[in-house]
Amino acid sequence: MKILLKGLLISTILVLFISCSAKKVYTSASYGSLKSYTEKPIYNGKKETSTYVSGSLSNLNHPQNNESDDKVTMGNFSIYRTTTDKRLNYYYGLGGSFGTYQFRSDLTNLDNSVNYFSENDKLNFYNINLKAGVNLTKTWKKFEYSIIGVEFVYVNEFGSYIDKLSDLPQMYDVAIVDEKSIFAFNLNTEITFRINKDNNIGYGMFLGDLLFLDKEKTRDENGLFYGFILKYNYKNFTISLIKEYSKRSIESTRFGITYKLLNKSKSIKVKENADKKRPTTINKNNNG
């Protein structure tokens, strides 16, 4: 009898534990691909400010507890400005994204009387995103090393997907993390190797987390994410590949193309011209 009672007690605890854990988790579609590549001018003995435009395509997998992974496809466009000095690089920019979230399994209530999602349903989403960061750098003849950097990211998501999440009722085995506003930061490092004047390659790593996360929605889980970056630059063009890993085994691959649109070297020429004019003015005053 005692053995039976112990068995029943253990079974009850296990049932309660399993029932409290989320079998499915639905997050903002943007979560899982928060890191975008930021190209920077390599320091060449003078301060340089450049403006870049960038486009990228991301593919994400959102696992759902032994069922087929949900799929997310997202396009992004951004413009940003970055300044490189002898020991520091800092940047800021804004962008926008659009994409689709495809459900690969049904979501129903307990008695299957209500179907919230059906397999292969697709919903659209959009976001506006901002980023800003600073890096401590060291430059050699063939290498530039971004020793440590910190980046802050803000994403505001909207569209039919996130609206649908907000309309879902609370379910004991489903976690709904419908964060329309995402604040995140990441620490990063990168090394760039100069092949020659026009070509360079780079490798970077990053580790970040979400800020101001509602732990009640996430059931006390954090929003940790990390990954690596590969890039190749030819003159004003850069191609990049980012692999990002997030909580709940969410993975994304982002391929991007960046173009250097403007360079602030013209302002230096203006200063040089101004310096050339000063002696002429002084000579006139002396002759007078």
In sequence order, what are the beta bridge partners of 256? 56, 240
CA 167 to chain centre: 26
- Cβ neighbours of 266 (radius 10 Å): 8
227 pLDDT more than 60: yes
pTM: 0.83
Q: In 3D, which of 95, 167, 162, 181 has the Cα closest to residue 124?
A: 162
Whether residue 250 contacts residue 58, with contact meaning beta carbons closer than 8 Å, is answered with no
Whether residue 89 contacts residue 110, with contact meaning beta carbons closer than 8 Å, is answered with no
Task: Check residue 283 and give its pLDDT.
Answer: 42
User: At the top level of CATH, which class does the domain 21-280 belong to?
Assistant: mainly beta
Mean pLDDT of 233-241: 97
Query: Which residues lie closer than 8 Å to 55 by C-beta, 6 or more apart?
Result: 75, 76, 77, 78, 256, 257
Whether residue 144 contacts residue 42, with contact meaning beta carbons closer than 8 Å, is answered with yes
Q: In 3D, which of 26, 207, 197, 210 has the Cα closest to residue 101?
A: 26
Task: Check residue 16 and give its pLDDT.
Answer: 40
92 pLDDT more than 50: yes
Residue range 117-163, pLDDT digits in tens: 889 999 999 999 999 999 999 999 899 999 999 999 999 999 999 99
Q: In 3D, which of 14, 21, 33 has the Cα closest to residue 221?
A: 21
Query: Which residues lie closer than 8 Å to 278 by C-beta, 6 or more apart?
Result: none
Distance between CA atoms of residues 40 and 90, nearest Å: 9
Q: What percent of the chain has pLDDT over 70?
A: 84
Task: Check residue 129 and give its pLDDT.
Answer: 98
Question: What is the helix (H) or strand (E) element at residue 217, kind and residue range?
Answer: helix 215-218
> Torsion angle of alpha carbons 140, 145, 147, 151, nearest 10°?
140
Question: What is the helix (H) or strand (E) element at residue 111, kind and residue range?
Answer: none
The residues spanned by each domain of the chain are: 21-280
DSSP one-letter code for 249: G
More confident call, 84 vs 65: 84
202 pLDDT more than 90: yes
Angle at the Cα of 210 (from 136 to 159), degrees rounded to 5? 120
Mean pLDDT of 45-72: 93
pLDDT band at 111 (very low <50, low <70, confident <90, very high): confident
